[in-house]
Amino acid sequence: MSLRKGTKVWVEDRDSAWVPAEVAGFKGNQVQLVAGSGKTVLAMPEKLFPRDADEDEHGGVDDMTKLTYLNEPGVLYNLRRRYALNDIYTYTGSILIAVNPFTKLPHLYNVHMMEQYKGAPFGELSPHVFAVADASYRAMVTEGRSQSILVSGESGAGKTETTKLIMQYLTYVGGRAASDERTVEQQVLESNPLLEAFGNARTVRNDNSSRFGKFVEIQFDANGRISGAAIRTYLLERSRVVQITDPERNFHCFYQLCASGKDAEKYKLGHPSHFHYLNQSKTYELEGVSNAEEYMKTRTAMYIVGISQEEQEAIFRTLAAILHLGNVEFSPGKEHDSSVLKDQKSSFHMQMAANLFMCDENLLLATLSTRTIQTREGIIIKALDCNGAVSSRDALAKTVYARLFDWLVEKINRSVGQDLNSQMQIGVLDIYGFECFKDNSFEQFCINFANEKLQQHFNEHVFKMEQEEYSKEEINWSYIEFIDNQDVLDLIEKKPLGIIALLDEACMFPKSTHHTFSTRLFQSFRDHPRWEKAKFSETDFTLSHYAGKVTYHTDYFLDKNRDYVVVEHCNLLSSSKCPFVANLFCSLPEESSRSSYKFSSVAARFKQQLQALMETLNTTEPHYVRCVKPNSLNRPQKFENLSILHQLRCGGVLEAVRISLAGYPTRRTYSEFVDRFGILAPEFIDATYDEKSTTEKILKNLKLKNFQLGKNKVFLRAGQIGVLDSRRAEVLDNAAKRIQCRLRTFVARRNFVSTRAASFALQAFCRGFLARALYAVKLETAAAIFIQKHVRRWLMRHAYVELYSAVVTLQSNIRGFSTRQRFVHGKKHKAATLIQARWRMRKVRSAFKHHQASIVAIQCLWRQKLAKRELRKLKQEANESGALRLAKNKLEKQLEDLTWRLQLEKRMRVSNEEAKSVEISRLQKVVESLNLKLDASKLATINECNKNAVLQNQLELSAKEKSALERELIDMAELRKENAVLKSSMDALDKKNSDLANELLKAQKNTNDTIKKLQEFEHKCYNLQQNVNSLKEKLSVLEDENHIMRQKALVVSPKSTRRGFEKATVPEMNSGALVPHTHRKPEFESPTPSKMITPYSHGLSESRRTKLTMERPQENYEVLSRCIKDDIGFKDGKPSAACIIYKCLLQWRAFESERTVIFDHIIEGISDVLRVGDENITLPYWLSNASALLCLLQRNLRPNGFPPTQRSAGSSSLALRIAQGLSSPFKHGDGMSHLEARYPAILFKQQLTACVEKIFGLMRDSLKKELSPLLGSCIQGPKAARVHAGKSRSPGNAPQQLPGSQWDNIIKFLDTLMIRLHGNHVPSFFIHKLITQVFSFINMSLFNSLLLRRECCTFSNGEYVKSGLAELEKWIVNTGDEFAGTSWHELNYIRQAVGFLVIHQKRRKSLDEIRQDLCPALTVRQIYRISTMYWDDKYGTQSVSNEVVAQMRELLNKDNQNLTSNSFLLDDDLSIPFSTEDIDKAIPLIDPSDIELPSSLSGYSCVQFLAQHQNEIVRSSQIVAV
C-alpha cells in the first residue's frame, strides 16, 4: 500500500480495536497519523489498512463484498454504521450477519414482510433472515436437494430467536400438507418454548441461553409442503442441574414449576430459594418475564405437541422430585465411611422424592448411600461416605433430568411425525459458538471442537462460492490456495493419538489424574505447530484454533468425560409404580463384572454425534447465519468493537474475508469501474467506447498484472484497488492543485484591485479633509462677524423695550381704576333689577297653582260619576251573556292546553337561548342602572354648577362684606373638591359602563355562535333523519325479502330437501344447454348473504324438477345461452345482452314465478363464459352487462311476501303491464310501478350482485398481475442510462432506451385499459373505482420496493421515479376527473418519499419540517427507513442530520415499548369499494325498450315480441314524421 500525506487509513487502537486516521507525515520507518479524535500516533506501514473516505458518508453497504477495501476494520465499521441505523442484518456474500438489537423490532417480522421476501431473488431486497430462509426453500424446491441453515454465535447473540424466525418463515411458505390433518407447522413452532423451558437457562451473558445444540430437520413433500419434522439435540449441560454459579440460573422449567400456584402446592414446592439446586444463585426472576405466565405457555406447548394430561403431570412430578432430591443432606453414620440422613428436613425431602418417583423410600436411600461391587465370591455392598452419597444423589438427578429431556425430544419427534418418504429437508442448526473465557474447561473444549468442524465446512462452502463466482464470470482461478484447518482437527480427534483418544484412555484407568493426562499430552504433541504448553501451569495446554489461541485447564477433564450410570438407580426407577418414570429407565445398562458404576465417554459420544451431523450437512446445501452480540450489557445501541471483532473471528467471518483476500477480493462491474477510474485514462473514453475494453486499457496503462476480466465484472487481486485509488487520488490532487492555482490567481488579482481602489479612496479622503479644514476657518471668521452684529443690535433693543414697558404700565393702572368704578355702579343696578323680577314671578306662579288644583279636583269628580254609570251598564250586559262565557272558558282552556304543549315543545330548543337571554337581560339591567346613576351624577354636577353661578352672583352682590365673601370662597373650594370627586366617580362609572358594554358584546357574540351551532346541529339532525328514513326503507325491503325466504324455506319439507341434495339432477335437454347441478362447481362466492342460501332449484325432487323443466320451452334456454355466449354488442351505449335478458324474463313472467331454474341457468352461463373466455375481452364486457342487468332488477323489482292472488287477475294485470310497456316508452323510477318479485327473483338479484363484485375483483387482480412486472422495472432507472446521462458518454448512433421508456409502457398499459373499458361501455363509476385501485396498487408497489431496496433510495433514482410520476400525472389530467378523479391522491406515499429523495440540504431540515411539510402522510418509521437507506450517487450530499436520526430512533423505541409499532410497508387494498345502492345511484337510467333483436336470435319464436315492438316503434316514428 502506497502511503502519502492525506491518505485515509485504519490504525490499531487498544480500546476501540481500530480507529480511522489520516497520514500526516513520516518519521523514519514509521508513519505519523492523526486519528479521528485529534490524537497523533505513530505506526508501522505494514500495520495499517487502507480506508475509503466515501463509505463514511452513508450508512454502510448491505453486502460487505461491495466494500472498496475488504479488510478487518472495514468489516467492523460497516457493521457499526448499519447497527447505528437499526439495520441489524448484513451480507458477506451469501453469509448473513445478524447483530442482536436488544430491542423489539416487530415491523421487520410481520406477515407482510414475509410476503415481500417470498420468491424474491437473494440479494435484491435488504438483508434479512427471511431472505436466507427463502433462498434455502427455493433452492430445495427447484433443485430437489436438501438444504441446511447453520445459525451460530455466542451466548446472547440471538441464535434462538433467529432459529425461531427461520422456522416461522418456512412454516409460512411451506404450510401444512393438504393430506395431513395434523398442524405440523404449529407443533414445530410450539416445540421451541417447550425445549427452551427444559434446555435453556440464564447465563452471565444471556437470560435465555440454549444449553444444548439443536438441529431441527423440517421435511417437505413433493409439493413443497411441510410433511414432518425431527429434532436432534447435542451435549445437554447436565451439570447445570446440580451446580450453578451466581448470577446464573438453573433450567427455566424449575422456576416455572415453583411459580405454578396450585401445582406447586400439590408437589410441596415453594419459593426457589428453599431448594439447594436453585438457591446456589440469588437470581430467581428474569427482568420482564413472569414465571407463572411462562409456565402456562409451557403447558400450552405440551398440549399442542401432543403430550397428554397424565404425561404432563408425570413430567412436573419428576421435576419436583429432582428439587426435593437436591435438599437431601447426609451426615456421617455410626460405621466407618458410612452416611445417614442429616435431619428431619432431609427425611421429609427424601420421603417426598420417593413419593413423587413412586418408589420405595428405603430402597432410594440405600441406592444413594451404598455401592454394589460384583466379585467372584458374590456381591459386596459398600457404604458411601457423605461426599460419595452427595455425588450419588447428584448423579441420579442428572441422569433423571437427561433422560427426561431425551424423552421430551423423542415425544416431540413422534408427535410432529417424521415423513420417512420425504426426499427434501431443510435443517436448521442452532448451536453454540466458539468460546474463549478466562477459565476454559471440558465444555469449552467440546464446543470449540464442534466449531472447528463447522468452520472447516464453512471454509469449504465459502471457497466453493468463490469458485462458482469465478466460474460464472469465466475467469482463471486454478492457482488460488485454500485455507484449511484439518491439522487442528487431527490433533483433537485422530486415533490413536488424538486428544479425545488419549482422554478416553486416561479415563479407563482408575488411578489416572489430570497430571498424568497432561504429561501424556505433552509427550505426544510437543512438536505440533498448533500445540503450546501454558507458561504458568504444569497441567494446562493451549490450542491454536481458527479464531485464536485458547488455554484449557485439565483439572476436571477426566471427571467431566466420565459419564457414570449407576445400575442401582436404574433398577430402582425402572420398577417405579409411575409408568412414566419406569419408561424413562426401561433400557437397563449391561451387567458389569466388578462395579455397578458404568463408564461412558462424553467426548467419544459427542464426537459420534458431531460426525453424524457433519455427514448430514455434507449431503445438504448449506446457508450460514452468524449472530453477533454487540455488547455485554444487553443494551440497545451500544457497540463494543473489541467484543464484536472477537466474535467475527470466532464466527469465521474474518476467515471468509481471508479466503476472499486469497483470490480476488475486489470485484466491480465494468460500468462502476469506468465510472470511478475513468479519470485515470480519459483519452480512452470517447463517444463510442466499450466498458470492458476501456477497463482493460486502464489497467494495462497502469501496468497492473494478475487481474481477471470476467463477463460482467473485473476481478482485482489484493492491493490493486489501493494502487488504483492512489493513482486516482494523484489525478484528483493534480486537478485540485490546478484549481487551487487558478483560485489563488483569482484571489490575488481580487486583492490587488481592492487595494488599488482603497488607495484611490484614501487619496480622495485626504484631499477632502484639507479642503474641509480651510472651509472651516473661513466659516468661523464669518460667524464671528455675524455674532458681533447681532449682539450690538440686542443691547440697543433691550434698552428701548424697558422704557416702553414702564410707560404702558403707568397708563394701564390709571385706566383700570376708572373702569372698576363704573363696573361697581352697574353691578348694583343689575342686582336690584333681578330681585324685583324674581319677586313678581313668585306672586304670579302661586296664584296659577291654586287655580290649577281647583280645576283638577272638579275634573276627577265628573269622571268618577261617568265611570260608575258605565259600570252599572256593563254589569247588566254581563248577566245577559252567561251562555257565551262557558263557551269562551272552554275555548280558553283549549287555548291554554295548546299553548302549554307549544311551550313544552319549544322549551327544549330555547333552553340555551333563555339562559343566554336571562344573562343578557341581567347585564342590560345592570347597564341601565349604571346609566341612571351616571345621569344622576351628571344632574348633580349641573346643579352644583348652577349653585356655583348663584354663589358667584352673591359674591358680586356682597363684595363689601369681606368676611361673608371669605366663607363663601371656602365653600366654593369644598364644592370644587366635591366636584372633582364626582368627576372621578363619573369617570369610574364610564369605565364600568364601557366594560359592561364589552361584556355585553362578548355575550352577544357567544349567543350568535351558540345560535349558529344550534342551526348546524338542526341541519345535522335533519340529515340524520333523512338517513334514518332511507335506512328504514332499505330495512323494510330486506325484511320483505327475508320474509319471502323464510316462507319458501318453510314450504320445502326436510325430506325433499335432503333428496334434492342427494339427487339434484336435471334431465338432459336435446340441445345440451342444461348441465346437472351435481357436476357444477360454483364460480363465484359472494360476501353477501346470498352466499349462505342454497339455490331453491337444488331442493326440488327429481320428478318436480322434470315437470318444471318441461313447462318451459327448450327454446327459452337456447335463447339465453346464445345471448350469454355470443357478443351481441351495444346499442347507443346500452348493453344489448342485459336488456334482452331482462325483457325476456319480463315477457316469460320469470320474476313472478314461484318455481323456476332459469335464473340458475343464467348465472351458470355467465360463469362458464368468464371461465373459458379471454379475460381482457370477457371481463369488461360482462361487467357492463351484469351491472346493467343488476340496475334494472334493483329499480324495477319489489319483494312480495304475500301469497299470489287469483291466477286470472294476476295474468291480466301482468298482461296489461306488458302491453303498456310495449305500446309506450319504457318508464323508470316513479314512472313505472315495481314488479312484485318472488323468492327466485330475489335470490337471482343477490347472486347477480355477487357476480358483479367477483367480475370487478377478477379485473382488478388481472390488472395488478399485468402491472407488477412493469412496476418492477420502473422503481429503479436503467443503470447504463443513469451513468451515461450524467457523463454524456452514450454512443452517437447506437439505439439507446430512454429512462422514461419503462414509464411509457405503463402509460401505454393504462391507455389500452381505457380503450378496452370504453369499448365495452363500462360505466364511468366502475372505471373510476378501478383506476383508483390500480393507482393505489402502483403506490403500494413502488413505495414498498423503495423501502426494501437500498439501491433505489438514491438521488438519481428519485429523479427518475419523479419524472415517471409526472407522466402519470399528465395521464390523469388528460383522462379527466370523471374516470381518474382522485387517483393522483392515491400516489401520496410514493410522491412524498420521492420528494424527500430529491430535495437538497437534507441535513438542514428538522424532524418537524420533514413530518409536517415534506412527508406529512408518512410515519416516523417510514421516514427513518428512507433517511437511513438514502445515499446520493449524483452530488455526494448527505442524508438528514444525526440529531434528526436520534429523535426518530427515540420515537421508534417508545413505539416498540408500547407495542404500537406497525410495519413500514403498505398493505394492498383488496376490498370491493361499492355496494348495490352505490351502483344504483351512480349508473344512469337504462331504457331497454329500443333494443333491436340480433340476427342470431331472429329465428327463435320466443323472442319475436322484440321484433314486433321494434316494428311498432318504426311505424310510430314514420307517422310522427308525416
Residues annotated catalytic, as ranges: 155-156, 160, 206, 209-210, 433, 435
Evaluate whether 1403 touches 1410 at the Cβ level (below 8 Å). no
SS3 assignment, position 331: strand
Evaluate whether 201 touches 251 at the Cβ level (below 8 Å). yes
First to last CA, the chain: 105
Angle 874-880-884 from CA coordinates, rounded to 5°: 105
C-alpha grid cell, residue 14:
487498544
What whole-number distance in Å separates Cα of residue 183 and Cα of residue 194? 16
**Number of residues that make up the chain:** 1522
Cross-strand bridge partners of residue 233: 214
What whole-number distance in Å separates Cα of residue 1142 and Cα of residue 1189? 7
1175-1196 helix and 1239-1274 helix, angle to the nearest 10 degrees = 140
Q: How many other CB atoms sit within 10 Å of the CB of residue 518? A: 23
C-alpha grid cell, residue 691:
466498458
C-alpha grid cell, residue 448:
470449540
Residues with Cβ within 8 Å of 589's Cβ and at least 6 positions away in sequence, in order, are: 565, 567, 570, 598
SS3 assignment, position 275: coil
Q: How many other CB atoms sit within 10 Å of the CB of residue 680? A: 16
CA–centroid distance for 1279 within its chain: 31
What whole-number distance in Å separates Cα of residue 74 and Cα of residue 55? 9
Evaluate whether 229 touches 184 at the Cβ level (below 8 Å). yes
What whole-number distance in Å separates Cα of residue 451 and Cα of residue 387? 36
Residues with Cβ within 8 Å of 1479's Cβ and at least 6 positions away in sequence, in order, are: 1187, 1190, 1191, 1194, 1252, 1325
Beta-carbon-side half-sphere exposure of residue 1138 (alpha carbons within 13 Å): 26
SS3 assignment, position 61: coil
Angle 1219-1118-1179 from CA coordinates, rounded to 5°: 95
Three-state secondary structure readout of 859-873: HHHHHHHHHHHHHHH
C-alpha grid cell, residue 388:
460419595
Eight-state DSSP code of residue 828: H
Evaluate whether 547 touches 458 at the Cβ level (below 8 Å). no
State residue 30 phi and psi, 5-degree precision: -100, 160
Cross-strand bridge partners of residue 231: 216
Sign of CA dihedral 971, 974, 978, 983: positive
Closest CA to 501 of 610, 615, 601: 601
> Residues 1331, 1256, 1273, 1440: what is their CA dihedral angle, to the nearest 10 degrees?
60
The residue type of 1079 is H
What whole-number distance in Å separates Cα of residue 876 and Cα of residue 712? 129
Sign of CA dihedral 1095, 1098, 1099, 1100: positive
Residue the block writes with cell 448451536: 431
What whole-number distance in Å separates Cα of residue 891 and Cα of residue 898? 10
Cross-strand bridge partners of residue 380: 373
CA–centroid distance for 842 within its chain: 102
247 preceded by a cis bond (ω within 30 of 0): yes
